[in-house]
Structure 1
Amino acid sequence: MTKRTPKTTKPEPTAAETFAARRNDIARLMDVLQMELDKHAEGAKADPRNWGFAGSLGKVRSDLIDLVGFLSKLDPEHVEAFLADAE
């Protein structure tokens, strides 16, 4: 008769641990986003007639509006209004 050895399972992370890990990931992604924006600005400065740079930032802006709206439980229109108030 073969004895079965019990499997040792890795404990699942807690909600707090998962939150902390994801928050850290987001902070790192925001740092990368800033670096990419800086590189994009250099490209736009070197080729100021190229609408591709403005178009790319339009997509990023739209996605960020959606993200901010999601986290703050606001409609995108409210986030747009917030941006318009700063002008």
Structure 2
Amino acid sequence: MNARKHNPKPAPPQPTAAEMYASRRNDIARLLDVLQMELDKHADRAKADARNWGLTGDLGQVREDLINLVGFMSGMDPEQVVEFLNDAE
């Protein structure tokens, strides 16, 4: 019997928590840049079609999602985030 030892390839090293954090933070920064570009394009469409309430509704959805996101990141309730926004007016 010819018994060869099979040497499996070692698993690729997994990223550290710090490396993954940096990668995800970079992804988020890029997504924020894309969001700004999309908001600019959306504003151009809204300017061209000023009576279109659907476009206003789009921003309402984005606003709600961002309120929830900021609440999640800050540990605040969404209502507190809305109060913060209202204080700025």
Please report the TM-score for the alignment, with normalisation by the length of structure 1.
Answer: 0.97
- The whole-number CA distance in structure 2 between the counterparts of 1:19 and 1:10 is 19
What amino acid does structure 2 have at the position aligned with 1:14? T
Q: Distance in 2 between matches of 1:14 and 1:3?
A: 31
Identity %: 68
Gaps of 5+ in 2: none
**Residue in 2 that maps onto 1:67:** 69
Q: TM-score, normalised by structure 2?
A: 0.95
In structure 1, list runs of 5 or more residues that go unmatched.
Answer: none
Which portions of structure 1, spanning 4 or more consecutive aligned residues, are displaced by more than 3 angstroms?
none
Aligned equivalent of 1:50, options 45, 49, 52: 52
Q: Distance in 2 between matches of 1:66 and 1:24?
A: 21
> How many residues in Structure 1 have an aligned counterpart in Structure 2?
87
RMSD over equivalenced CA pairs, Å? 0.6
